[in-house]
Amino acid sequence: MAYKVNHYIPQFVLRNFSDDNDNKIKVLDLINFNAEQKNVKKAFSQNNFYDLIEDLSEDPKKLEKLFGEKIESKMGLIIKKVNDSSESFELSRDELEVIKKYITIQRYRNPINQSYYNEIF
């Protein structure tokens, strides 16, 4: 089975930290205290990250698709709105709700908490 790279920090967020559209960001390894340049496509990702979720075995991409459809696409529009604003901007109640959901999901969407997915699903 070919592997699928799953980002636990979405690429649309990481791209906001790259310079000059080169799609590279500086990443600090907190264990070795090394800083290195990484391409956004490879940073904060893991091969088959969601495949360990037993209930999703028929469609291992199901959870990533749900993140994309329900949260990431909406959050991407909000980030674009903020980035495109010249001075001030307003967020609707619905946009604030999306931000809250996104932050909550991101809190648990990482390799350390990966084992909890089987408990949740």
Residue carrying structure tokens 């969601």: 50
Query: What's the pLDDT tens digit per position in 85-94?
Result: 888 889 999 9
Report the percentage of the chain scoring pLDDT > 90.
Answer: 38
pLDDT tens digits for 69-119? 889 999 999 999 998 888 888 999 999 999 999 999 888 888 777 766 666
pLDDT band, residue 121 (cuts 50/70/90): low
Q: Is 72 helix (H, G, I), strand (E, B) or coil?
A: helix
Residue 39 has pLDDT above 70, yes or no: yes
pLDDT value at 67 more than 70: yes
What would the mean pLDDT of 31-50 be, rounded to a whole number?
Answer: 88
Residue 3's SS3 state is coil
At residue 66, the pLDDT reads 82
- Report CA torsion sign: 23, 26, 30, 31: positive
How far apart are alpha carbons 78 and 99 in whole angstroms?
8
Report the relative pairing of strands 5-7 and 34-39 from DSSP bridges: unpaired
Using DSSP, state whether 5 is helix, strand or coil.
strand
Q: Is the pLDDT of residue 21 over 80?
A: no
pLDDT at site 103: 93
Q: Is 53 helix (H, G, I), strand (E, B) or coil?
A: coil
